Amino acid sequence: MASFTEHYPSQLLSDAVDAISSLPGVGRRSALRLALHLLKQPAENVHHFTAAIDNLRDKARYCRVCSMISDDEVCSICSDRTRDHRTICVVESVRDVMSIENTGQYHGVYHVLGGIISPMDGIGPSDLTIKELTERVSALDDPATAEVILALSGDVEGETTSFYLYRQLAQYGIRISSLARGLGFGDDLEYADSLTLGRSITHRQPFHP
């Protein structure tokens, strides 16, 4: 496979394949296929494609309040007065915000950590926006009537980060919650892992017919 890349008919093609295969999960064969595809498109389409990527990199920024990707200094969610700014949902990444927004069930605001505490990957609390979160919480009026939702993944790193945040935030007297865990809708008992099933039984809820 590696030797497939030896004979490029064109330095321009070789450079483009190098660039495209630098993307995560894109091998050199796929990169060649994509480069040959782009070569066949009208020039204006290709320029539109590259301009969209340059614009994203050059003009997008991170919201001053919640660290979400934003076109402006403050993102569209943080600047939306109809949302509940006293409920802050803490997530790992931009993609988590998009997933939660997509449920249509949440009307508070967010705080994007930009990662998760993971000593194995060399990511500590200072690499994340935890200081910004504590400052944000400390600046709230009457924190006892406000809430932080820890919406991190259920693995070891997620639990560790949640516990760390809980210790940092508890001093402000703010309510701290986390996502409900249990069987997913449509999940089959037979195939559920025992940890999830165990939690689902322990934290069973009143039946609403």
Q: Which residues of the shown chain bind a copy of itself in the complex (CB under 8 A)?
A: 3-4, 6-13, 15-16, 18-20, 22-25, 30, 32-39, 41, 43, 45-60, 68-71, 75-77, 93-95, 97-99, 101-102
**Nearer of residues 37 and 131 to a copy of itself, judged by Cβ:** 37
Residue 186 CB, nearest approach to a copy of itself (Å): 16
The one-letter amino acid at 86: R
Residue 206 CB, nearest approach to a copy of itself (Å): 30
Residue of 171, 144, 152, 128 lying closest to 86 (CA atoms): 144
Residue 20 CB, nearest approach to a copy of itself (Å): 7
**Nearer of residues 50 and 138 to a copy of itself, judged by Cβ:** 50
**Strands 61-62 and 69-70, sheet pairing:** antiparallel
3-state secondary structure of 10: coil
**Nearer of residues 51 and 170 to a copy of itself, judged by Cβ:** 51
Residue 70 CB, nearest approach to a copy of itself (Å): 6
Residue 112 CB, nearest approach to a copy of itself (Å): 10
**Element holding 90 (H helix, E strand):** strand 84-91
**Nearer of residues 63 and 130 to a copy of itself, judged by Cβ:** 63
Our measurement of the distance from residue 72's CA atom to the centroid of its chain's CA atoms, rounded to an integer in Å, reads 19
Q: Which residues of 85-110 are buried (b: 16+ CB within 10 A; e: fewer)?
A: ebbbbbbbebebbeebeeeeebebbb
**Element holding 134 (H helix, E strand):** helix 130-138
**Nearer of residues 127 and 159 to a copy of itself, judged by Cβ:** 127
